[in-house]
């Protein structure tokens, strides 16, 4: 029985990062969802961290790509290559024959998209593939007891999607998903700086701005960061100073979109469960939850308590580990 348990693997197949949980070992892998290939031969040169370092810095024949987009597979072949490499790395040289894999997906993807994820996981040699919706897994990983007959609400702000759900009695009562999350925030910052400062910055610089000085509320004591990009008119390197209030302005519209979807989910929630949420509050998970000011912004707009989970970056993959120990909570 112990040998069988060790064949259980949980995968958070994210747009930005892939995390893998192995039964008996915990979280063993956390790497960027990036693959670098030779443009001429289509041969895979690197995956994960090594491939991400090539983003925006590669010569003409080397192309760094993200095979996942908005929480779903954009490039089937590259996703398979990436997942195969990560599973081998996670399991070590010996590997495991025919593991059972629990893999997460956004709450509103189509049956075709689910089948694509399942097929890729099966092609890695899985004995059984279980698909589970991300907000449910994130809630479990955040320590929410979803088996109780009371309402719990989670907002999971990942890389490609923000998944919002109300849970009770082990399942999702109502949910929605929006393709606005961490990657969209990066694009917002890139576009804002291009428009306001006439400077073009890359994806890595935008991410640094977001994580170091990002805020969704105006601040009297604004934070500043010096960054270098390419001047649009000169074509030469140009250094500018970005403030946290710049970031607030850049993210404003997309944050409003997430709030509107959260309000819509609350409006569709049965009154009894709404009362539970008003008492217990909403749990924020995912990397996007770490942006300063989100808790206060959501509290103000949604009129209920809001708090961030202890480990928002790893809640989903940790949730896969807990669900593998409590298979009765899985509806697959």
Which pLDDT score, from 0 to 100, does residue 325 have?
Answer: 85
Say if residues 156 and 262 touch (Cβ distance below 8 Å): no
Taking 70 as the threshold, does the pLDDT of residue 332 lie above it?
no
Which pLDDT score, from 0 to 100, does residue 53 have?
Answer: 84
Determine the average pLDDT of the residues in 184-188: 97
Q: Which pTM was predicted?
A: 0.91
Which pLDDT score, from 0 to 100, does residue 62 have?
Answer: 85
pLDDT, tens only, 260-311: 999 999 999 999 999 999 999 999 999 999 999 999 999 999 999 999 999 9
Distance (Å, rounded) from C-alpha 210 to C-alpha 207?
Answer: 5
pLDDT band with cut points at 50, 70 and 90 for residue 4: very low
What is the rounded average pLDDT for all residues in the chain?
Answer: 92
pLDDT band with cut points at 50, 70 and 90 for residue 331: low
Taking 60 as the threshold, does the pLDDT of residue 1 lie above it?
no
**53 class by beta-carbon count within 10 Å (0-12 exposed, 13-18 middle, 19+ buried):** middle
Determine the average pLDDT of the residues in 208-219: 96
How much of the chain exceeds pLDDT 70, in percent? 95
pLDDT, tens only, 55-86: 767 677 888 889 999 888 999 999 999 999 99
Which pLDDT score, from 0 to 100, does residue 97 have?
Answer: 67
Residue position matching structure tokens 């919706």? 133
pLDDT, tens only, 84-123: 999 989 987 655 567 889 999 988 889 999 999 999 999 9
Helices (H), the chain: 2-5, 49-52, 76-91, 111-123, 134-141, 182-197, 203-213, 244-267, 271-280, 294-302, 315-325
Q: How many CB atoms lie within 10 A of CB 74?
A: 14
Give bridge partners of residue 62 from the DSSP assignment. 38
The edge-to-edge listing of strands for the beta sheet with 224-231 is 199-200, 224-231, 237-243
Domains, the chain, in order of start with CATH, read: 2-136+315-329 (3.30.420.40), 142-180+256-308 (3.30.420.40), 182-250 (3.90.640.10)
């Amino acid at each position: 029985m112990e040998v069988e348990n060790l064949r259980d693997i949980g995968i958070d197949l994210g747009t930005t990062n892939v995390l893998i949980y192995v039964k008996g070992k915990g979280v063993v892998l956390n790497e960027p969802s990036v693959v670098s290939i030779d443009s001429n031969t289509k041969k895979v040169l690197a995956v994960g961290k090594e491939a991400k370092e090539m983003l925006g810095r590669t010569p003409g024949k080397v192309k760094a790509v993200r095979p996942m987009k908005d929480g779903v597979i954009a490039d089937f072949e590259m996703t398979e290559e990436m997942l195969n490499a990560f599973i081998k790395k996670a399991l070590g040289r010996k590997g495991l024959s025919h593991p059972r894999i629990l893999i997460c997906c956004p709450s509103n993807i189509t049956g075709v998209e689910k089948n694509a994820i399942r097929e890729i996981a099966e092609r890695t040699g899985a004995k059984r593939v279980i698909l589970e919706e991300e907000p449910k897994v994130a809630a479990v990983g955040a320590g929410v007891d979803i088996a109780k007959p009371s309402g719990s609400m989670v907002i999971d702000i990942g890389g490609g999607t923000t998944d919002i759900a109300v849970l009770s009695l082990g399942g999702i009562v109502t949910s929605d998903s929006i393709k606005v999350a961490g990657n969209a925030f990066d694009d917002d910052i890139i576009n804002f700086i291009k428009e306001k400062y006439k400077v073009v910055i890359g994806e890595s610089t935008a991410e640094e701005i977001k994580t170091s000085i990002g805020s969704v509320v105006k601040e009297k004591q604004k934070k500043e960061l010096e960054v270098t990009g390419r001047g649009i008119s000169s074509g030469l390197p140009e250094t500018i100073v970005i403030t946290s209030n710049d970031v607030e302005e850049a993210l404003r519209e997309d944050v409003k979109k997430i709030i509107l979807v959260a309000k819509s989910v609350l409006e569709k929630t049965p009154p009894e469960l709404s009362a539970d949420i008003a008492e217990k509050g909403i749990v924020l998970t995912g990397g996007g939850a770490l942006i300063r000011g989100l808790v206060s912004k959501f509290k103000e707009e949604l009129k209920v308590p809001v708090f961030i989970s202890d480990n928002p970056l790893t809640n989903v993959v940790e949730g896969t580990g807990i669900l593998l120990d409590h298979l009765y909570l899985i509806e697959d």
